[in-house]
């Protein structure tokens, strides 16, 4: 039973191939993955994790995220992190803290809807058609803003107040009459943007992005 469980956990964090090496020879990322496997031994119902994937390469980070997502079923995991991507993927409820105070609490979707800047529409067209496409898009959604215009790549921001007009715009973009539009896509505000928005409210004249991330932390409580 114990050997089987040990193998299962080491394989989950991609350490089975180096199981016979001493932990002292592991890199920082490997040691974090080992700590992740160790903390799940004994089937705990509550686990506290602090920056569990810091220092890991993107591939191993994804494997660990997948392991945490599966392991949290029927348990409570309280996870603190500066990575909004990690909080978004793993957190059923996310608490954003800044300067020692709780600034927001809710599901990732709720936080994006409440504090986000709405939706982003990305459109690819020929550079010579950019002005015509802009002239066609802008009147369809009151309040829409052009964020970027670069060599035929257009990015529009649809604010929360204009979301009722978004379905009609999507229907138009998805139609077959738009011969000038080669590709288009839609995405919601990221949790990173929500985080920065809240930090600017707390410290509008503060230091640069790096300093803001040093003075703030997000805690994702994952429960199922």
Residue 218 is predicted with a pLDDT of 56
Q: Are residues 98 and 140 in the same domain?
A: no
Q: Which residues, given as ranges, of the chain have pLDDT below 70?
A: 176-177, 204-224
Q: Are residues 153 and 68 in the same domain?
A: no
Query: Number of structural domains, the chain?
Result: 2
Could you tell me if residue 194 is inside a domain? no
Q: Are residues 106 and 216 in the same domain?
A: yes
CATH number of the structural domain spanning residue 174: 3.30.70.2810
* Sequence-distant (≥ 6) Cβ neighbours of residue 49 within 8 angstroms: 36, 39, 68, 77, 78, 79, 80
Is the CB of residue 118 less than 8 Å from the CB of residue 156?
no
C-alpha 147/C-alpha 75 separation (Å) is 42
Residue 219 is predicted with a pLDDT of 58
CATH number of the structural domain spanning residue 54: 3.40.50.300
Q: Are residues 148 and 108 in the same domain?
A: no
Could you tell me if residue 202 is inside a domain? no
Q: Are residues 96 and 21 in the same domain?
A: yes
Strand (E) or helix (H) holding 151: none
Q: Are residues 107 and 124 in the same domain?
A: no
Q: Are residues 94 and 75 in the same domain?
A: yes
* pTM of model > 0.75: no
Could you tell me if residue 199 is inside a domain? no
SS3 content of the chain, % helix, strand, coil (to 5): 45, 25, 30
Is the CB of residue 198 less than 8 Å from the CB of residue 104?
yes
Q: Are residues 54 and 155 in the same domain?
A: no
C-alpha 35/C-alpha 88 separation (Å) is 22
Q: Are residues 6 and 109 in the same domain?
A: yes
Could you tell me if residue 193 is inside a domain? no
Could you tell me if residue 171 is inside a domain? yes
Name the token pair of 196. 């920065």
Distance between start and end Cα atoms, the chain: 26
Residue 212 is predicted with a pLDDT of 45
Of the candidates 211, 148, 133, 219, which has an alpha carbon nearest to the alpha carbon of residue 178?
Answer: 133
Helices (H), 13-160: 28-39, 58-71, 84-90, 108-115, 130-137
Tracing tokens 């011969």 back to the chain, one arrives at: 179
Strands (E), the chain: 46-50, 76-81, 93-98, 101-106, 119-125, 145-150, 153-158, 181-188, 216-223
Could you tell me if residue 180 is inside a domain? yes
Residue 215 is predicted with a pLDDT of 42
Q: Which residues form the domain of 79?
A: 2-113+211-223
Could you tell me if residue 175 is inside a domain? yes
Q: Are residues 137 and 67 in the same domain?
A: no
Q: Are residues 96 and 170 in the same domain?
A: no
C-alpha 155/C-alpha 149 separation (Å) is 7
C-alpha 119/C-alpha 160 separation (Å) is 8
Q: Are residues 174 and 81 in the same domain?
A: no
């Amino acid at each position: 039973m114990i050997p089987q469980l040990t193998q299962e956990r080491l394989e989950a964090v991609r350490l089975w191939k180096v199981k016979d090496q001493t932990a002292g020879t592991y890199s920082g990322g490997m040691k974090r993955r080992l700590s992740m496997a160790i903390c799940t031994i004994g089937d705990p119902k509550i686990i506290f994790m602090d920056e569990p994937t810091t220092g890991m390469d993107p591939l191993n980070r994804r494997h660990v995220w997948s392991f945490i997502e599966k392991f949290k079923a029927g348990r409570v995991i309280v996870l603190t992190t500066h990575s909004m991507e990690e909080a978004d993927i793993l957190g059923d409820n996310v608490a954003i803290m800044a300067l020692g105070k709780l600034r927001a609490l809710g599901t990732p979707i709720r936080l994006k809807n409440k504090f986000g800047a709405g939706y982003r529409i990305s459109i690819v067209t020929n550079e010579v058609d950019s002005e015509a496409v802009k002239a066609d898009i802008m009147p369809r959604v009151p309040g829409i803003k052009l964020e970027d215009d670069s060599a035929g790549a257009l990015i529009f921001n649809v604010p929360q107040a204009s979301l009722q007009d978004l379905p009609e715009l999507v229907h138009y973009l998805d139609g077959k009459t738009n011969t000038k539009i080669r590709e288009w896509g839609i995405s919601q505000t990221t949790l990173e943007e929500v985080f920065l928005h809240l930090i600017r409210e707390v410290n509008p004249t503060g230091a640069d992005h790096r300093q803001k991330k040093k003075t703030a932390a997000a805690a994702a409580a994952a429960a199922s």
